[in-house]
Chain A
Amino acid sequence: MRAARVAVVQFPGVNCESESVLALSRVGLEPEIFRWTRPAGELHDYQAFVLPGGFAYQDRVRAGALAAKHPMMEVLAEEVERGKPVLGICNGAQALVESGLVPGSGTVELALARNRMTGRSGYFNRWILARVEASECVFTRHLAPGTVLPLPVAHGEGRFTTRDPARLTALARAGLAPLRYAGADGRLARRFPDNPNGSRGAIAAMCNSRGNVLAMMPHPERAQDAGAVARGVTGAWAERRRAAADAPDGLSGGGPGLLLFEGLARHLERA
């Protein structure tokens, strides 16, 4: 059986497409970089989509704002309606939020606002801990709630917020926040730097109600190797990192970020 084809959608300024292609290949999928210059309608030929990180259109107006208006997003919206999965990572997440595909009511209900950090401002990168929450999201539902994944973040505008805080709380309670920032003890991270951007409810990722679209700020594709896990990370993944370093294949053992792509592969296998 032929592997499912996944379009790695690249707007000008997106720069994480190669890592995303590698991660998708490692879980048995058939990824292809789909650049903005191609006819948007050709996206209909793919079974799933990844919007990688970077700086689409140099983050002009707002991060993701101009990409959200591109005809490719209209095609993605049609495919989302058909149930096809879409993963937006960092800048890709910003485009999904600015286009209203997350949480998916048709109108824009959220913002990924500028980071709000103690004693600093602007761009921030660090390894954080993302806790898996109970959710029907196709990318995380194979993971036990409470599982903690070390993942890197790198952004200046990653704070999930909304005009009506009660709405965000309701979305999270409905299982639409499948990843939340956590401390080393596994409890929700309310403060910087464990919560790296001041996101409400420590939300690191949000999905739509159907669970087939995920907008996440951490970069799973940068954590696809166990050996890439940062030295400061403790616990089970630190053990795996050390084991990976001693393994014959060096750093190529599957890392925590690969689990998100495995979720996609499992979903496509069943579909």
Chain B
Amino acid sequence: MKTKRGDMRVAQAWVELKTRDPEAVSALGVARAYLPEGGTLRELRRVRCIELEGPLPGRAELLDLLHRSTQFYNPHKERIALRIEPSDPAPVPAGAQVVLVTERGATARPAAERWWLHETGERIGVREGVAWILGFEPGTDAAAGASGLAVLRDRRHGLLCNPHSQEHRQSDAAVPLPWIEGGAVPDEED
């Protein structure tokens, strides 16, 4: 049985560069060099987390559809891990922490939704965020360390999420499915 949100099925795709992600390399270097919470950070990976919600096909067909459009990923450069059940593992090592960062009110991927409708005739919702996977030195309180790096506070504290325009969630390796909140109302002009 697929994971459901109401009557809708949800799948979660984790898309990551096959090579080391330059963005993560830079963020790791800056965190370790300049931020107190980054001193024990050993590994930092950046993964695009994409959730599809709607009348979805089975795993094989779903993977095939995702493979066919760069709206989702580029198989020449990126690898994908698909979760359709909460018991499916996320590509997160035991002991690591995940910080999901989304743009407030802008998680939807309308172009991907249009492509899906064109290809399958089905209307689905597609949402996307960036999942930062943080690994710390042994003996470090990983949850506290990740929390300290997650939210930008000042020049010396926080990095991954500017809370004035972004939202964040944090998890250990048992990542929820679904995890990305959709349908947020964009900021209104004051």
Q: How many residues of A contact B (CB 8 A)?
A: 38
* Contact mask for chain A residues 96-114; partner B; CB cutoff 8 A; 1 contact, 0 none: 0011100000111111111
Q: Which residue of B lies closest to A101 (CB)?
A: B155
Q: Is B5 an interface residue (CB 8 A)?
A: no
Q: Is B87 an interface residue (CB 8 A)?
A: no
Q: Which of B158, B160, B162 has the most CB of A within 10 A?
A: B162
Residues in A whose Cβ lies below 8 Å from that of B119? none
Residues in A whose Cβ lies below 8 Å from that of B140? none
Q: Is B53 an interface residue (CB 8 A)?
A: no
Residues in B whose Cβ lies below 8 Å from that of A98? 152, 162
Q: Is B174 an interface residue (CB 8 A)?
A: no
Q: Is the CB of B190 within 8 A of A60?
A: no
Q: Is the CB of A190 within 8 A of B189?
A: yes
Q: Is A73 an interface residue (CB 8 A)?
A: yes
Cα-based distance from A165 to B186 in the complex (angstroms): 13
Residues in B whose Cβ lies below 8 Å from that of A62? 162
* Contact mask for chain B residues 109-127; partner A; CB cutoff 8 A; 1 contact, 0 none: 0000000000000000000
Q: Is the CB of A163 within 8 A of B164?
A: yes
Q: Which of A58, A65, A169 has the most CB of B within 10 A?
A: A65
Q: Which of A58, A60, A159 has the most CB of B within 10 A?
A: A60
Q: Is the CB of B190 within 8 A of A61?
A: no
User: Known contacts being A100-B154, A200-B190, is A113 close to B27, with CB within 8 Å?
Assistant: no
* Contact mask for chain B residues 24-40; partner A; CB cutoff 8 A; 1 contact, 0 none: 00110010001100000
Q: Is the CB of A69 within 8 A of B35?
A: yes
Residues in B whose Cβ lies below 8 Å from that of A68? 155
**Chain A nearest Cβ from B145, distance in angstroms:** 17
Q: Is the CB of B187 within 8 A of A161?
A: yes
Q: Is A74 an interface residue (CB 8 A)?
A: yes
Of A57, A69, A74, A113, the contact of B159 (CB 8 Å cutoff) = A69
B80-105 CB contacts (< 8 Å) to partner A? 103-104
User: Known contacts being A60-B23, A66-B27, A168-B190, is A108 close to B159, with CB within 8 Å?
Assistant: no
Q: Is the CB of B164 within 8 A of A110?
A: yes
Of A61, A77, A106, A190, the contact of B160 (CB 8 Å cutoff) = A61
Q: Is A201 an interface residue (CB 8 A)?
A: yes
* Contact mask for chain A residues 66-92; partner B; CB cutoff 8 A; 1 contact, 0 none: 101111011001000000000000000
Residues in B whose Cβ lies below 8 Å from that of A106? 154
Of A65, A100, A163, A190, the contact of B163 (CB 8 Å cutoff) = A163
Q: Is B69 an interface residue (CB 8 A)?
A: no
Q: Is the CB of B155 within 8 A of A73?
A: yes
* Contact mask for chain B residues 164-190; partner A; CB cutoff 8 A; 1 contact, 0 none: 111000000000000000000011011
Known: A106-B154, A200-B190. 20 other contacts (CB 8 A): A60-B27, A61-B160, A62-B162, A65-B159, A66-B26, A68-B155, A69-B30, A69-B155, A70-B34, A71-B34, A99-B154, A108-B153, A108-B158, A110-B164, A111-B162, A111-B164, A116-B106, A161-B187, A169-B190, A198-B189
6 sampled A-B residue pairs with Cβ under 8 A: A61-B26, A69-B34, A73-B155, A107-B154, A113-B162, A161-B187
